[in-house]
Amino acid sequence: MINTKETPHIKPNGVEIAETILLPGDPLRAKFIAENFLEDYECFNEVRGMLGYTGTYKGKKISVMGTGMGPASMGIYSWELINVFGVKNLIRIGTCGAMQEDIALYDIILGMGAATDSNYGHQYNLPGQFPLTASYGLLEKAKNIADEKGQKVHIGNILSSEIFYNADSTAMKKWQDVGILSVEMESVALYWNAIQAGVNALCILTVSDHLLTGEQTSQEERQTAFTKMMEIALEIA
C-alpha cells in the first residue's frame, strides 16, 4: 500500500513502513542492515540524515531506521512511527556500557526493564513511579532465538540515562550496586511510548564499552560489527 502520510521528521515518499521496525541509534547502522540483510529494500526517510529503509527478510517485510541519541530523539521518532505510521513492534538495537564484572565487550543484553534518570515519563502525570518493561512476547522470542543460535545473553535491568557526561562521579557506582547491567540512552522513551500506545517494544544491546575496565570498541565496529544482535532482532520478526 502506498504510504501518503508524513511528519516533520519522517517523509516516506510513498514507501511503506512495516509493522515491525529495527531501531539503531546510528543511521549508518540502519544503512548497513538494509544493505547486508534485507532484500529489495527502499529508502523511506532521509530527513535530517536519519536514514530509514524497508525491505524483506526471509519473506517478511521489515523496516529499519536510525533514531539518534537520547530520549528526546527516540521519543520523537518512536512516537511518530507508532501513532502516525502504525508500527506495532519496535526493536531497539543499540550499544551500551557494561556495568557488571561478568559482562564482556560484545556480549548481548536484553533490557527486561529500564531504570532511568530521565523526566520523560512526567508528561503522564501518574501519582507514583511506573515500571518500564519490555514486551514479554518479544523478550521471550529473543531469548529463544539466542538459545537456538548458542548465543549467551544477559537479561535484566538496564539504565536509560539522559546524561552522557555525568557531573556526579558516584552515580554509576550506585546503579551498579543495585544490579543494573548496563547503561544506554534511548529505551526510556521507547518503552514509555510503546506502553502508552499498547504496542510492543524491546531493547537489544551489544556491549561497546565497559565502565569498570575502560575497554571500548571502535566507531567502525559500532556501525558494522554487531551482527549477532542484528540477527536476533531480524529473526524475531
pLDDT in tens, 178-201: 999 999 999 999 999 999 999 999
Binding site, annotated residues for phosphate: 25, 29, 48, 92-95
Q: Supply the pLDDT for residue 226.
A: 83
For residues 57 and 36, give the distance between their C-alpha atoms in angstroms, rounded to a whole number: 10
Phi, psi of 210, rounded to the nearest 5 degrees = -125, 115
CA angle, 125 then 127 then 133, to 5°:
80
4 is a domain residue? no
Active site residues: 209
Binding site, annotated residues for a purine D-ribonucleoside: 9, 184-186, 208-209
For the segment 164-178, the average pLDDT, to the nearest whole number, is 93
171 is a domain residue? yes
11 is a domain residue? no
115 is a domain residue? yes
For residues 196 and 215, give the distance between their C-alpha atoms in angstroms, rounded to a whole number: 37
pTM for this model (two decimals): 0.95
For residues 187 and 122, give the distance between their C-alpha atoms in angstroms, rounded to a whole number: 16
42: left (phi over 0), alpha (psi -120 to 50) or beta: beta
| Cα–Cα nearest to 153, from 118, 187, 107 | 107
Indicate the helix (H) or strand (E) that contains 189. Answer: helix 187-197
pLDDT at 225 over 70: no
Binding site, annotated residues: 9, 25, 29, 48, 92-95, 184-186, 208-209
DSSP annotation of 81:
H
Q: Supply the pLDDT for residue 205.
A: 97
For the segment 164-177, the average pLDDT, to the nearest whole number, is 93
Percent of residues, the chain, with pLDDT higher than 70: 97
| Cα–Cα nearest to 183, from 118, 116, 96, 101 | 96
Assign 204 a pLDDT band (cuts: 50, 70, 90). Answer: very high
For residues 216 and 105, give the distance between their C-alpha atoms in angstroms, rounded to a whole number: 7
221 is a domain residue? yes
2 is a domain residue? no
Nine cell digits for residue 103: 559482562
Q: Supply the pLDDT for residue 220.
A: 76
163 is a domain residue? yes
Q: How many domains does the chain have?
A: 1
* Amino acid type, 65: M
Nine cell digits for residue 173: 557506582
Range of the domain at 113: 20-236
Q: Supply the pLDDT for residue 223.
A: 62
Q: Supply the pLDDT for residue 2.
A: 57
Q: What average pLDDT does the structure give for the chain?
A: 95
For residues 78 and 115, give the distance between their C-alpha atoms in angstroms, rounded to a whole number: 19
Q: Looking at residue 132, which CATH number applies to its domain?
A: 3.40.50.1580
- Please tell me which residue, 196 or 1, carries the higher pLDDT value: 196
Contact 33, 24 (CB under 8 A): yes
43 is a domain residue? yes
Contact 121, 108 (CB under 8 A): no
